[in-house]
Chains A and B, each alone.
Chain A
Amino acid sequence: MITVNERNYDFRSGMTLLDILKTDAVDIHGAVLVTLNGSLISKEKYNETLLNDGDAVLAIKVVSGG
């Protein structure tokens, strides 16, 4: 099982971060930052980052400023 923003998804061996982000309803266009188990992953690495069973992904959208 993989979680994306706390929603559960089935884990498949060989699955990359980009695979799961593509399947998820989360909009990753614009200012979105993605963490894997709490660590920030840069956009260029989505396709080469292999997921493990139990991983937690967060797709965090920057909406406003501070």
Chain B
Amino acid sequence: MWSKLIVNMAEATVTKLPYDEEYLQLGGRALVANYFMDLVKTGKMDPKCDPMGEQNVLMFCTGVLAGTNFTTSYRISVGCKSPLTGGIKEASSGGYMGKLMADQGYRMITVHGLPQDGKLRYLHIDKEGNAELVDAEDLRLKGTYDVVDAMRERYGDGISVACIGPAGERLYKAASIQISEFGTLHPSRVAARGGVGALMGVKGLKAVVIEKPTIPYKVEYADEAMFREAAKELNAFIAGAAKVDPFHNFGTISTIEKTGANGILPVENFSGKLYKDYKKLGVEEFLGRLAARGGCNKKPCQPGCLVQCSNVYHDADGKYLTSGFEYETIALFGPNCRIDDLDKIAVMDRMCDDIGVDTIEMGTACGVAMDAGKLEWGDADGVIAMLEEMRQGVGFGPTLGDGCEAVGLALGAKRIPTVKHQAISGYDPRNTKGTGITYATCPQGADHTAALTMGRAFDDAGRTAQAYASNKLQVAICFSDSMMCLFAFSNVVPKMHLLANLMSGLYGGPVDITRVTIGLGVKTLLTERAFNKLAGFTDEDDKLPEFFLTERSAATGAVFDINPVEMEVLFDF
């Protein structure tokens, strides 16, 4: 039987309990939505509560297929009421934590209350499954790379670490939770968005460290043969599709080859210009540097991943610099700040991972700071200095740490690319309008994984079928985020019906795809929206910043011209 851990930071206690029967067929994003709505329904959480107050809960949970051999089933989801948006938040990450949590027999860890003694602690789960809170005062304000090194020294290589850096401890609203990668243990996988690291910080929890168990938990199947047959077929299909998947062959950086040419790549704080030098940050340059310096791509961030989109990036001296170096980071610190030095952007990525902060918030915030005249366009050293101020908590650093909107408001900026206080990611919504609809309406705030319609609507910059594409994808991504990695999911679509066999083989019941599409998809989206409504969100929060509606993209001449009525009917299922 699966278990859960309840961590009480007020009393510094950890309790192991059987996992709730009603949550058995939920995982990841679907579990987060249901759990937090249940807290509201049972009076344990006021949906309007202060996200940094004692009512808020920080949740770590696995996907619904964790413990099986289905590829990418070991994602980890971090859930809470977001310190950044004030709404529901599920931040999904790869890394080794999901696998070790499942091997330990845990589906969910919830962290409650605030410490009474102001002490910093970490949660340690040992090889035998015993869990305790350990004093972490020696790790205070340490970067995440140092935290991983310290844990590795204490417990060896067979561990996963999820931790905050100085940003989380300083309660910055853009603080992330960094999760160690499978194999290397680099803390470069990220539950990045919504300020989840700030909540971990206010709870005085520096890290969650899980050791590989002596005896791994064995999943009980309702019909193991059915599950294995479906998983075998799906895994083989995904492995085949991965051969021509750009993320497998090159990594997410390949996205720039498309966005750079069609005006979707953000340039100079979403000015709408084209960036003719985007190839300086393109696949050829990237792969050339990996090969010349001993880095590599095609790395899995979790065991059993067949897509393997991750990478290891070395500096000019051939020394490790960063990993999990992604399109969003490159686009937003790059052309969005008119920076075209890949090595400098890699330094920024490493700093953000080490400080424990969301690179999307940071890249957009720096773009806004440049637009407002705080830094010159292209001033990479200025960005690096500002990130260092953030680490130290001095100068402009704390404002930067609170993310894009805080920076824009502090500098009196007119063009602030955020929705629900969360920064827009590396796609200009005028030229991928379905993505703009997603940014505006997604309960998570503007989000790069919530339904990126680029290449999926008929004409990215046109109006046709954009709301339809956003709607269908938002639902699909809700169930994908509950089961598996989105990048594997995008290869599964022609055989999606087999996801029903996985659910039925694992949990019993009918082979019915609506258990996935409605149960984990539509219901999750509607529950998230209902939570946000109770938290005080209105239709006014489902809007893009005005400048996307009035300023034309110089690349295509497009404005974001989707009628609000089209967006209102989006969730009328």
Contact = CB atoms under 8 A, between A and B. Distances in A.
Q: Do A and B come from one complex?
A: yes
A31 B258 contact: yes
Given A62-B258, A65-B426, A66-B487, 7 more contacts: A40-B287, A42-B284, A62-B254, A62-B455, A64-B452, A65-B264, A66-B247
B246 A33 contact: yes
Interface residues of B, number: 31
Contacts of A35: 249
A34 B250 CA distance: 11
A6 interface: yes
B246 A61 contact: yes
Interface in B447-480: 448, 452, 454-456
Nearest to B240: A6
Contact of B250 (A30, A33, A63, A65): A33
A28 B240 CA distance: 20
A1 interface: no
A47 interface: no
Contacts of B259: 65
A5 interface: yes
B242 to A, nearest CB: 11
B246 A62 contact: yes
Interface of B: 243-247, 249-250, 252, 254-255, 257-259, 261, 264, 283-284, 287, 309, 326-327, 426-427, 448, 452, 454-456, 486-487, 490
A30 B284 CA distance: 16
Interface string A14-35: 0000000000000000110101
Q: Is the interface of A mostly helix, strand, loop or mixed?
A: loop
B246 A60 contact: yes
A58 interface: yes
5 contacts: A30-B258, A31-B257, A35-B249, A64-B452, A65-B264
Most buried by A among B255, B259, B452, B490: B255
Find the residue from A42, A58, A64, A66 having the highest chain B CB count within 10 A: A66
Contacts of B326: 66
A56 to B, nearest CB: 10
Nearest to B249: A60
* Complex A-B, nearest 9 residue pairs according to Cβ-Cβ distance, in ascending order: A31-B258, A66-B252, A65-B255, A63-B455, A62-B258, A31-B257, A64-B455, A62-B246, A60-B246
Contacts of B452: 64-66
A20 to B, nearest CB: 16
A42 B285 CA distance: 11
B261 A31 contact: yes
A66 B249 contact: no
A61 B448 CA distance: 20
B258 A58 contact: no
B427 A65 contact: yes
A40 B290 CA distance: 12
Contacts of A59: 244
A40 B454 CA distance: 24
A33 B257 contact: yes
Contacts of B252: 65-66
A40 B283 contact: yes
Nearest to B264: A65
A40 B284 contact: yes
Contacts of A63: 258, 455-456
Contacts of B255: 62, 64-66
A27 B526 CA distance: 39
A30 B261 CA distance: 9
B456 A62 contact: no
A31 B193 CA distance: 29
Most buried by A among B245, B257, B486: B257
Contacts of A61: 244, 246
A40 B244 CA distance: 13
Nearest to A63: B455
Contacts of A60: 244-246, 249-250, 254
Contacts of A31: 257-258, 261
B249 A58 contact: yes
B39 to A, nearest CB: 32
Nearest to A43: B284
A61 B248 CA distance: 12
Contact of A64 (B244, B249, B287, B456): B456
A8 B487 CA distance: 28
Nearest to B490: A64
Contacts of B486: 66
